[in-house]
Every structure is written in structure tokens, then in C-alpha cells.
Structure 1
Amino acid sequence: MTLAPLLFLLLTTQYPESTVTIAVDNSGKNFIVAFPENIAYYHPDISANKLKITSLYPNTVVTIQNNIYAEDVQTLNNGVDFNEDGTLELTKAEFSNSTYRISSNHDILIYAINDKSNSVQTALITPIEKLGTEYAVPPVPVIAGTTEPVGEASTYITERGPFRLIIINADQPNVVTITGTEEKTVPLNPYELTQVWVREKDAISGVTAELPVAVYFGHPCAVRHNCTCGMLFTPLLPAKPDTLTYIIPPELTAATDTVILASEQAALEIKPVSPDSLSMEVSGPAVLYRPGLLLNLIPEQEFGSCYVLEFMAEVDGRALIVVKWRRSWTNDGTVFGHSAPLVSATADFRGCLLSAEVLEIGEVADGWRESLGYCTNKSLDLISMSEADLQSQISKKLSLVLESIAATEVWIGMRRESKTGEWYWVNNDLVNATNWAPEEPGTPQEGNCAMMTLGAEFGWKDEDCCKLAHPVCYKPPMLFKI
């Protein structure tokens, strides 16, 4: 069977002012990564692990460091991918410094590919600044030949070994507490990690740390089918105290042994899923399990609007825009994958936002020329709106805050040319779509500057340029260009 990754997306069109919880995007400037043991560290096949780095801005300088190999520095343009070989694979050691540190002068996205002898897992890496200090540990799934029969676990037989937690520290000394039958405190040096067996008798339910850490959960070689085993790992997401609704894609529930691993207020529960289950409410994080796949579910309260589609070069890629999960098949049909990198949670008709537009009603009421200077002094522009889509978007955003705006009329960045009487935008855009109110504009004697009425249709009219009014100041967004 040909390798074929499939990326799931779930998009929304919410504005920032809405009550929907805005998802945190996956980009950042500093990352810490480790490659878990795959099958067995002594396996004769060589690992083909990689870090896939995507730059979002031009002239992005990326530095990759570890404790063995020389520092690697790359300069990338926006939309450019770079693959870094990840040859440092963990063993069974309790403590290790086999970590990769990635830093950049601009935001980047990273996902890791763990690949050895048809045992493949991918993981979206969270930047250090967005890691958490508290994690709920999901229950261990029931896997015949690995976790079942109970009592036959052995640290000497890879596929029969316990599940593991890998706790990776960032750039400061840290103290980690592992909650279970007995509380365990572990000090960690900068860029050091610890591996912890997740055994039934220990009843591990949570990880807390004084400073942010990354936490991975999984198994180096969990039994899949036909007496084969393969890597099964996922980075955990920080704990979520609220009850959230998780969307479950039907295609992933086709396997009869698909379950949701829920950590609800320190209570661990394995929840069965049927093909008819499209959603589930969980008071905490939720991880979907099926043979070969551990997948962090994304609550609908954190859906976004722009994602980067990443595919492995050696496979045939497909995209299904349903929910924001990535899925692939290995040669034996096993599913693996990770969530798609979120770049922006805010919808915009122009594309994928790296930084949102700035829209501000000026505090000072003045003439049109003075209002132009007012916006310029704030490093903004008196707004120009040559496109109908932009006019609509600005009207919707202003309508959400009308009650807090004392003004009823505002200056916009349009006026007549003194010699010809033609209207023009101050940013030199062509005058295409307009939104003149009925019987507007009038003659030059009635006014040479454009004013917008707040409310209803947000219509425009010509007005005396010396009339006092508040300006609409604006800065366009920065877009991710491919």
C-alpha cells in the first residue's frame, strides 16, 4: 500500500471580538524537541528521524543545537521548509540530554517525524513560550499483547513494556512533580529530560512543574496487528479545566477499538466511541486512540481559520477539510498522525494572518487633514477601503463596538482631487467599490472629504473638510505568503 498522508482541517469565520475562545497558534521562536525510542534503540534499522521546519517570514534565521553535533544555522524565506536530520534517539535511560534546541529570529512551525522500519509517528511541536506547567496524564489504552493480559508487563521485552511519560525541560533549572499513588519530585537541569514508566500500580494522573515543560505520552512498540508492533507517541497538551466539546471525525471511529482517553478532574476514563459519535464533552483534555494512533482532539471552542498543510515528501498527500487533524497510513495500513499547525485563529478574506489588522477610532475630533496627521503620528493610516470585502469586514467589526463609540460620523481616507474633482484614496488604491449613501456624493461645493456614518449601512457622504469628526485609523494585516 502506498504511503498516503491525509490532513484534516476545521475552519471558522469568527471575528476576534466574538465570544468564542481563540485558539493559540502553533508558531514560535524557541522549541525543545526529543525523539522517543522507536521500536528499540538497539534495533538494526537506522532511524530516519527528521525535524520539519516551516518559516512564516522572509529572512528567518534558524539555529539548531544539541549536545553532540555541531550547531546548524539556516536562513529561510517565508513558506520555505527545511528538514533537519534527527539522529539523537532516546534509549531507556531515566535521564537524558539528547534534546534538540531550535531558536529563530522570526516565528516558525515545527513538526517531528519519527521513522524506523515502517514504524512512523509524527508530532506537532509546541514552542517553549506556549508550553504549560500542568498536564493531565491520560489513561493507558487496552492493547492486547502490550498492556493485556494485566500483570505480564516487562521492562525487558519491548512490546510488553509499560507506557512512558517523557518530560522535557526548557532553558532554566526546574522541578517537576508527578502525581500518582505516591508523589514523586524530579529536579531537571536546562534541556534535560526524564522518562517515567506509566504502570498500573502507580496510577499516574498528572504532571506539574515550576516552569513550563513538554510532556510526551506513549510506547516505543505497542502491538498493532498480526503480531507486529510500532511506535505510539503524542505530545500532551496542557491541562484544560473546563468542560469542552470535542469533534470526532467518523473516519477515525471506523475501527471497533477506537476509544477516547479522558482525564477528567484527576479521574481517568476510557470512553468507547461508535461510528455515530460525532462529538463528546469532556472536562479536561481528550486523546483519541486506535491501533497505531494517539491523537490530541481539539475542542470546537479552539477551532481556527488558517493552517499549514504539511506532507511527507515520500508519500502521496491528500487533504480533507473537515477537522484539523493530520492522518497517514503506513504500508501495513496503520494510521498515524498529528494536528495540523495552526497559524491563525482569526478569519480574514485576504488570506492567512500572521498579525491581525489594527482598527481604531481616534480619540480627537478634528478636521480631515488634521485627522490624517493624527493617524500618521500613531503609525497608522486614515483608512482606505477600495475593496467591497474590506468595507464589509470593517463595518462588521465596528458594529460590534458601536455602543462604546460616542461618535456617529467618522473621517475615512478619501477626498476629491482639487483640480479634477475626482475622488481618490490617500493610500493610492484605485477607487473601485464604493458605499455612498443615497444621493451622495454631492457637488464639490457641498464638500471635498469623505465621511462615514456609523450604523445601519455605514454609508459615505461628502463633507466640508474642516468639520470636526473622529478618524478611523487603520493598519493592514501581515499575511503568510507562499
Structure 2
Amino acid sequence: MLTLLLILAISSQGQSLADSGTDFITAFPENVAYFYPVIPDNSLNITALYNDTEVNIYFKRLLKLTIILQQGETGVYLLPSDVEEHKLAVSQKTVNVISNKNVVVLSISMQGESVQTNVVYPSQNLGTFYSIPQLNYGEMLSKFSQATRSISTKYSFFRLLIINPLSLTNEIRIVGKSQIEQFKLQPYTLLQLALNGSEVSVESLNNVAVIVSHPCLEVTSCKCKMMLNQLRPDAHWGQSFILPLLNIPTWLHVTLDTILTESTLDAGTLERIKSGAQSISTIYRASLRLISPGLILEVIPETMFAACYLVHFSVANGNVSVIAETLSSSELYIDRSSLSSISWTPIANTKYSIASVPLQGRHVIWHPSSKIAVYMFHNMTSGIHHGGPAVVLGEKPDPDGCSINLDELTVAPTPMSWAQSHQYCTSTSDELISPSTVTAHSALTEFLRNAADTEHWIGLRRSLLTLDWYWQKGNESEDLMDTQWGAGEPSDPVQGMCASVFSDMTWKSVSCCSQLKAICLKKSVYFPLDSPVEGFLV
């Protein structure tokens, strides 16, 4: 049936979502690892996007630690040894991260050589409807037996974790093929259940986090590897995907949107994919996973490609797979270094190419002009792989670097003189808008299309000494190069020493004492590209 669902690449509309926020919740499912008793090392990597970021970490609703991080700084918090949840029941073993400014969070579960890294989604990226992937353990063992030497059935099912991120009781429904189970989750609690293959979706009154895990999927020589996948809400799915390159036996698993498809549609079968990166699209919205012994990787939909990613390797040997548009692939950067010399492989029937880069430690991968996809993989000495999508820092390409927030334009609430407007904007934002670049001009053009007033102040005025026009950007000035004067403008200096802009982007010289509303600019903030501050243990 699967081949009927997949067609050549088609376009789709969607939204990219950054992984930063101020409110996170997660849990640590059981990680049995290699069949020998080793104390687990479970931790959180928390990286600040702004200076003076206060981070509070809670476990079982109790405050465990408060730390202050500066921009680009990573704190590594080692969690209590009892953080893993083994029981199939309701539990309070949730971990919350609350901060006063945006951070990104990685959870890391280590048991011997079994390592699982997971991007923790901020609460605003959670949802109320999740389709559950039909992960058939028996089928996986049958497929994997071709690539493994020792198979056992110590654990025969996957587990489903549902986490309530709210301070109020949340109503949950688990919809199955023949029945519906209902639960009420208290604030910041989780529910862990065994998946038997009949579950179709998780529906909730308010947002929840949903994780699918397996504590010990058998791999080689009587060893096993934990598998974990935090699900994306169906609303964040796509139809067009570029599969990354994996140099290990890999199978494709498709989950189709249960809202749009009939429950009898067989989309859960594992299909061995051909070697090399490739493009796959679905008729309906879908979630695709690449699965191999010890690895379950949810593929990034093309509509969720972004411009800037953070990768952080907790073991020595790692590599990243980067998917970028072929025509601009030479523009890719890692930190401040251009990757123009790396080897790219075109992906058939697409506009994309793929490259693999060995890395250690923490790095920023970004593209100045187009969106990309980045995956990070840990290569263990045992030959077992794990990995997944990297952390999205910024969504929109920016030639100046890794932009973690976009330029923000706002209109002053009341009309003021030019001098008052300049003071207001510098005190509430960064500057009175000065569209002296192509990017700023385009942003202002788009903004004025929806503006209520037809005329606004901009940061353009004459010099009192020379009468030449210049841009006043905060406390600095910049020479005027290109102009957008309207017909008959600028007028005599006696009539106007300051400038306004109209909805059609034409300028007019105006008396600086005139009363107009100002357009204020809050500039983009960029993530540091210099040598990162190494993570510290707390």
C-alpha cells in the first residue's frame, strides 16, 4: 500500500517553527541500554539566546536550580538519578525549564554507550491533536534481523508518554481503532502507556507534549539501544520531504494525518529505502520517520526548513547532514567559516544537494540567503547510530549571520514631533526607522501596506551645518545614498528639515515640529558565531 501513497516531489504550504522559548516540559522514559546495570546520566543542555537569562529548573514540580546564562552560553544540568520513569501509570516525574528570556533545550539520556539526544519543543510549539505512528515491534525485529546478529524479545512494545504542560487539569482522549480512552491529567504530570498498535491519535482539550519511546530495541551482540521520538502535532506536518543520507540499513515509516484519511489506509508498513538522499512526497499531510537499529528519526518537512541551526555533540565522534539548495550551497557557514570547499551531492529530481560534515562540540550552522535542513548524528564506537534534527535557532535567512529574531516594526501610539519621535523610538526600541538598505526598504514597504495612517516619521533629516540629508540611526548617523523623494521634493529647508514617508514609500520634507506618528525599529538579534562558551556542569 505504501507505494500508492508516495509520489514525486510536490510543493506545499506551511510554517517553520523555531525551537526557542521560555517554557519547556519533558520527561525521561526508561533507558535500559546494554543489558548491564549502569547508573544513567540524564541531563539538560540549556543555551541562552540573550544576555542575563534567568533559568529555573523544576523536577516533580519542585524548584531544583536557578542559573544565570549569558548569550550563547550553555549550562548542562545533571538530573537526579530517579528521573527516568519505568512505570506504566500517571507520574509526577516531569522536568520543567522556565526562563525570563528565550532559550533552547536539549535532553540527553546516557546509559553506558546508549545515548539519545532529543530537541525539547517549547510549549508554544505543542498541540492538541497528534496521530500516533503505528510502530510494529515484531515487524521491526523481522526487518532488523537482516542487519543484526542477536535478536531477543526482552521488550516487545513501544511506550506512549503524554505530558500536561499546564498549571490546570487537562482532559486527554486516546482514540483507538475500536475504543476511546479518556483521562484527566493534573498540572505538570505525565501518563505512560504501552502501545499495542490499536491507538490512532491523542486528542486533548489544551496543548500536550507527546513522546513515543522504546527502552531497549535489540541491535547487536546482546546489546540494545533506546529509541525516542517527541511527536510533532499534526498541524506541523508536511507533504514534501528530503530524506537525509544514512550509511546504514534504513527503513521508511509513514504516518498519515488521521483527520484527512480513512483509518483502513495502511500507512504503517516499513519500507527499505534506496541508498542516498532522495525526495519523497505524500498525497496527504504526513509524518515520515527513518528507522534503523537504535535510531528513529522524524524527517523535517520541506515547509519547516530554517536558516540557522545549533548542533551540540555530547560524544567525540559526530557529523551533520545538511540539505541546501544546489545553486546556493557554496554559501553555507559553520560558525564564521565558509564551507565553500566541501563536497555536495545533488539530490535527483530536486533543487537540493546534501553534504556530510564531521564535527565535535557545539557549532552554529547557517545560510545567508535560503532555508536549509540540518540533522546531527552521533557515531558510537559500537557502530550504533543515533541522531535527529538539529535545534532551530532562526527561521529567516539573513546575510549578517544567525538571526534569532526578526526586525520588528511598531508605530508610536500618538503623534509627536520628529525629535520626540526619535527619543521615543530609541527608548522603546532601537531607532526611528531608517530604510537605508534593500532589506529595510522591503520590510518597511510590507509594513506600510497594513498601516492605518498614510504618513509617518522616518529617521531622515538635514544637517544644521551643511543642509545635507542623512540618516539618524540611534546615536549614529549615516550618509544618504539612494533617495525616494516624491514629486517636487525635497522642499526648501525653511519649510522642512525632517522627512516623512507615505504608504507608496515616497518621502516628503516636513517641518520637524509637525505632529506625526513614528515608525520604530527593533533590530534583529544575532546568535554569537565566535568560539562558543563551552557548557558547564550545574
Question: In structure 2, what is the Cα distance between the partners aligned to 1:95 and 1:40?
Answer: 23
1:444: how far off? 5.5
Question: Does the alignment pair 1:188 with 2:185?
Answer: yes
Q: Equivalent residues in 2 for 1:399-418 (5 A)?
A: 399-400=445-446, 411-418=457-464
Which residue pairs with 1:178 in the alignment? Answer: 174
Which residue pairs with 1:431 in the alignment? Answer: 478
1:393: how far off? 0.8
Q: Does the CA-based 8 Å contact 1:144-1:223 persist in structure 2?
A: no
| DSSP 3-state at the match of 1:393 | helix
Taking a change above 3 Å as real, the CA distance of residues 102 and 404 of structure 1, as seen in their structure-2 partners, is closer
Which residue pairs with 2:520 in the alignment? Answer: 474
Within the candidate set 21, 30, 40, 1:28 is matched to 21
| DSSP 3-state at the match of 2:72 | coil
Q: Does the CA-based 8 Å contact 2:33-2:223 persist in structure 1?
A: no
Question: Does the alignment pair 1:356 with 2:406?
Answer: yes
Which residue pairs with 1:197 in the alignment? Answer: 194
Which residue pairs with 1:277 in the alignment? Answer: 278
Instruction: State which drifts further: 77-86 or 420-429.
Output: 420-429
Tell me which of the two structures has the higher relative contact order, counting C-alpha pairs closer than 8 angstroms and 6 or more residues apart: 1
Question: Does the alignment pair 1:298 with 2:300?
Answer: yes
Question: In structure 2, what is the Cα distance between the partners aligned to 1:481 and 1:241?
Answer: 25
Measured against aligned partners, the alpha-carbon deviations of 1:265-302 in whole angstroms (never above 9, x if no partner) come to 25443363333632322523332222222122222222
User: Gapped runs of 5+ residues in structure 1?
Assistant: 1-18, 151-156
Measured against aligned partners, the alpha-carbon deviations of 1:54-91 in whole angstroms (never above 9, x if no partner) come to 11222222222224987222121121111111322222
1:220: how far off? 0.8
Which residue pairs with 1:333 in the alignment? Answer: 383
Q: Does the CA-based 8 Å contact 1:409-1:453 persist in structure 2?
A: yes
Which residue pairs with 1:8 in the alignment? Answer: none
Taking a change above 3 Å as real, the CA distance of residues 465 and 380 of structure 1, as seen in their structure-2 partners, is farther
Taking a change above 3 Å as real, the CA distance of residues 480 and 204 of structure 1, as seen in their structure-2 partners, is same
Q: Equivalent residues in 2 for 1:381-392 (5 A)?
A: 381-385=431-435, 391-392=437-438
Which residue pairs with 1:126 in the alignment? Answer: 121
1:217: how far off? 0.8
Measured against aligned partners, the alpha-carbon deviations of 1:360-402 in whole angstroms (never above 9, x if no partner) come to 57899998568657867986743235xx6xx201222344466
Within the candidate set 256, 261, 274, 1:263 is matched to 256
Instruction: State which drifts further: 215-224 or 472-481.
Output: 472-481
Matched residue count: 446
Q: Does the CA-based 8 Å contact 2:238-2:301 persist in structure 1?
A: no
Please tell me the root mean square deviation across aligned C-alpha atoms, in Å.
3.8
Question: In structure 2, what is the Cα distance between the partners aligned to 1:177 and 1:430?
Answer: 59
Question: In structure 1, what is the Cα distance between the partners aligned to 2:477 and 2:229?
Answer: 51
Give me the TM-score of the superposition, normalised by structure 2.
Answer: 0.71
Q: Equivalent residues in 2 for 1:12-411 (5 A)?
A: 21-39=14-32, 43-67=36-60, 71-86=64-79, 87=81, 88-141=83-136, 146=141, 159-170=154-165, 171-180=167-176, 181-200=178-197, 203-240=198-235, 244-249=239-244, 251-252=245-246, 254-265=247-258, 266=263, 267=265, 268-270=267-269, 272=271, 273-274=273-274, 275=276, 277-281=278-282, 282-312=284-314, 314-322=315-323, 323-359=373-409, 381-385=431-435, 391-400=437-446, 411=457
| DSSP 3-state at the match of 1:397 | helix
Which residue pairs with 1:4 in the alignment? Answer: none
Taking a change above 3 Å as real, the CA distance of residues 310 and 276 of structure 1, as seen in their structure-2 partners, is closer
Q: Does the CA-based 8 Å contact 2:306-2:396 persist in structure 1?
A: yes
Q: Does the CA-based 8 Å contact 1:216-1:235 persist in structure 2?
A: yes
Question: In structure 2, what is the Cα distance between the partners aligned to 1:143 and 1:327?
Answer: 26
1:321: how far off? 3.4
1:53: how far off? 0.8
Q: Does the CA-based 8 Å contact 1:240-1:285 persist in structure 2?
A: no
Sequence identity (%): 28
Q: Does the CA-based 8 Å contact 2:137-2:157 persist in structure 1?
A: no
1:326: how far off? 2.2
| DSSP 3-state at the match of 1:436 | coil
Which residue pairs with 1:421 in the alignment? Answer: 467
Question: In structure 1, what is the Cα distance between the partners aligned to 2:455 and 2:61?
Answer: 65
Q: Given residue 281 of structure 2, which amino acid in structure 1 is its aligned partner?
A: M
- The structure that is strand-richer by fraction is 2
Instruction: State which drifts further: 115-124 or 361-370.
Output: 361-370
Which residue pairs with 1:15 in the alignment? Answer: none
Q: Does the CA-based 8 Å contact 1:147-1:162 persist in structure 2?
A: no
Q: Does the CA-based 8 Å contact 1:248-1:280 persist in structure 2?
A: no
Instruction: State which drifts further: 131-140 or 234-243.
Output: 234-243
